[in-house]
Amino acid sequence: MCIPALWPRALGGRALGERRARVQASPQWRDGRFRNRTRTATIPAGRIVETLRLQATAGPGRYPSRPVPVVGPSLRELESSPATGLRVTWLGHATALVDIDGARVLTDPVWGRRVSPLASVGPKRFFAPPVALDALPKLDAVVISHDHYDHLEMSTTVALAQRRREVPFFVPLGVGAHLERWGVDASRIVELDWSESRAAGPLTLTLAPARHFSGRGLSDRDATLWGSWVIAGPSRRVYYSGDSGYFDGYREIGAAHGPFDATLMSLASYGPTWPDVHMTPEELVRAHAELGGDALIPVHWATFNLAFHDWNEPAIRAAAEARARGVRLLVPRPGEMLEPGRAPDLAEWWKER
């Protein structure tokens, strides 16, 4: 892989050779970049000034006033088998450990203190990861939804690749170039287009559509694909949304791959000036229903300040919408081991913090 010598390592790699040919052969690749199914703007040109105004006037409520309550499960607990065949342990932001039908999948692992190409700047964690990277149980797969820094972090990826040499990484098209530059062997990288599937132990992992965008620098916008993941076992099914705006594909994904015992949906980081690429809490609850989901488990919130809303506003709004629609919403504390099939009664811990 030929990368300019001055190209920072954290920015990752570029798809070349056979990988580049496969990227360009994708139905999602048009006019030199990956495209969403529907017209999508990150921030429409006419709303840039409004975005700057929101940045300047956003209040202190974006950060918790008290420590976020964290649960620290032991390795023995994490290695135990869930009685219902499905357990989800949310570890912060979009990182979750999914124990399903005897296998374990880790979603978008980020253990770093900041989400940024630079170690000293960028959004900082509200709390330390509830489980140390070395304390994770045996994994059958790592799935990556896209290459933004809060979903694909170099230091975490390198550590996982070095310490868990048997674990495959499932990524959207083009993202494998980043992993290879960081030293992950090509034989461990499974690169998929939308609707493509591969096996991981007893599981079938399918990359499904999402409405978002990609890029780690200023010159690689939409050079890699983004997506959501269907994690299907012999008896249980889980959907992980990655980052996505609301679009008409959720009902189709549910019809093709559902119903789901649980959906892990990205809850926060929405804003009025980027409505195409992140869902509001109300849209998220609607998408869960269209997917044919049973338990709705929010992720991608309460960990980093990535938007202008109060840090706990997403959960407050999602809870209200879930009650109105009769949706079973389960909001675990970071590190809390949750079996959706047992219908736990969870405290609304995020209120008044």
> What average pLDDT score do residues 116-132 get?
92
What does the alpha-carbon distance between residue 121 and residue 140 come to, in Å, rounded to a whole number? 33
pLDDT band of 131, cuts 50, 70, 90: very high
Query: What pLDDT, on the 0 to 100 scale, is given for residue 91?
Result: 98
Across the chain, mean pLDDT equals 94
How do residues 321-350 score in pLDDT, each as one tens digit?
999 999 999 999 999 999 999 878 788 999
pLDDT band of 3, cuts 50, 70, 90: low
Pick from 193, 137, 144: nearest CA to 168: 144
Q: Domain spanning 52-57+69-340 has what CATH number?
A: 3.60.15.10
Phi, psi torsion values for 352, nearest 5 degrees: 55, 45
Phi, psi torsion values for 86, nearest 5 degrees: -150, 130
Query: What's the chain's Rg over C-alpha atoms?
Result: 19
Query: What pLDDT, on the 0 to 100 scale, is given for residue 120?
Result: 83
pLDDT band of 54, cuts 50, 70, 90: confident
Pick from 194, 185, 128: nearest CA to 158: 185
What is the DSSP secondary structure assignment for residue 206, as one 8-state letter? E
Residue 306 has pLDDT above 60, yes or no: yes
How do residues 31-50 score in pLDDT, each as one tens digit?
999 999 999 989 888 888 88
Q: Domain locations in the chain?
A: 52-57+69-340
Q: CB under 8 Å to 36, separation ≥6 — which residues?
A: 211, 212, 213, 247
Spatial strand order of the sheet with 328-329 comes to 197-200, 203-208, 228-232, 237-240, 260-266, 293-299, 328-329
How do residues 159-181 score in pLDDT, each as one tens digit?
999 999 899 999 999 999 999 99
The percent of residues in the chain predicted with pLDDT above 70, rounded, is 97
pLDDT band of 6, cuts 50, 70, 90: low
The dihedral sign for the CA sequence 114, 117, 119, 122: negative
| Residues pairing with 92 in the sheet | 95
What does the alpha-carbon distance between residue 69 and residue 54 come to, in Å, rounded to a whole number? 29
